Structure 1
Amino acid sequence: MLFITLQAASEGARLADALGLDPVVFHDLATVSSGDSWPLRTWYPVPGVVETSPANRNFEATFTTRLAEKDLSYALAAGEEAGLDLAVGRLAMERFARLIDDGYGDRDCSLVVRYVGRDGSTPGFDPGA
């Protein structure tokens, strides 16, 4: 559930930015609405909004993408065993697998925000640093 809500927070943050909304104001509103979540409050993927966000540190890992992918694989296997269709979990898995394939497995899992923008640009992330 964490990685699904992280994806939702990433999409909301990038949408707010694309619409020209102030990231701090959007974050403050979202955290007191039905969109609130732990990743929104803790890993908000925009630099300068949440002190604990890896976006403030070039997405250095607090929880790696490889660990996220491992945890998601267990959840998806359990869902398969239970005869469930965890469609949103599979979408999250695709995003984390893509991060790993692109060489970012040791970066923070909140770098999943990278794939919300079609051009791959990510505020707070310098792949060469």
Structure 2
Amino acid sequence: MAGHVFTVGGPTSGIAAKLANNLMLFITLQASSEGARLAEALGLDPAVFHDIATVSSGDSWPLRTWYPVPGVVETSPANRNFDATFTTGLAAKDLSYALAAGDAAGLDLAAGRLAMERFERLIDEGYVDKDCSLVVKYVGRDGRTPGFDPAA
């Protein structure tokens, strides 16, 4: 949406569009994290897998912009110890509003709830100001991920 102007309706319609879009972003971020780590675990070169996924059905904005493996995508927070481009706290705020809207509409946003659980876990661990793409650390059972040093 950045750089584009849309007429979406009356008051609060723009907020509704933002909430729905960010819900999709955070769910897709989780999927990109899991796919990246699975590709790595299966022995694929991260850069080669990224190239494949960005021209295939797994393509998404977080895959192209926040790929959670250092050294593959220049704009990835994984290159900077997950210093924030979009904080976990802001992601949790936006997602909580989207989930509340879904509840009010009688929807079951199960994938959105999973994403929210991950953001809440990051916040509980003290990473509220780290980038929301740090959710990748929960893909590994040991809670570690390449590019992140919690002591730094």
Q: TM-score range by the shorter chain?
A: over 0.9
% identical aligned pairs: 87
Aligned AA for 2:124?
D
* Structure-1 residue corresponding to 2:100: 77
SS of 1:106 mapped into structure 2: coil
The whole-number CA distance in structure 1 between the counterparts of 2:144 and 2:47 is 20
The two structures, once aligned, show a CA RMSD in angstroms of 0.4
Q: CA deviation at 1:66?
A: 0.3
Residues 74-126 of structure 1: per-residue CA shift (max 9 Å, x gap): 00000000010101100100000000001111000000000000001110000
Q: 1:52 aligns with which of 75, 94, 114?
A: 75
Larger Rg: 2
* Structure-2 residue corresponding to 1:116: 139
The whole-number CA distance in structure 2 between the counterparts of 1:90 and 1:120 is 20
Return the TM-score normalized by structure 2: 0.84
SS of 2:56 mapped into structure 1: coil
Runs of 4+ in 1 over 4 A off after TM superposition: none
- Answer 1 or 2: higher relative contact order, Cα 8 Å, separation at least 6: 1
The whole-number CA distance in structure 2 between the counterparts of 1:51 and 1:77 is 34
| Unpaired segments ≥5 residues, structure 2 | 1-23
The whole-number CA distance in structure 2 between the counterparts of 1:43 and 1:28 is 14
* Structure-2 residue corresponding to 1:6: 29
The whole-number CA distance in structure 1 between the counterparts of 2:143 and 2:104 is 35
Q: Does 1:17 align with 2:40?
A: yes
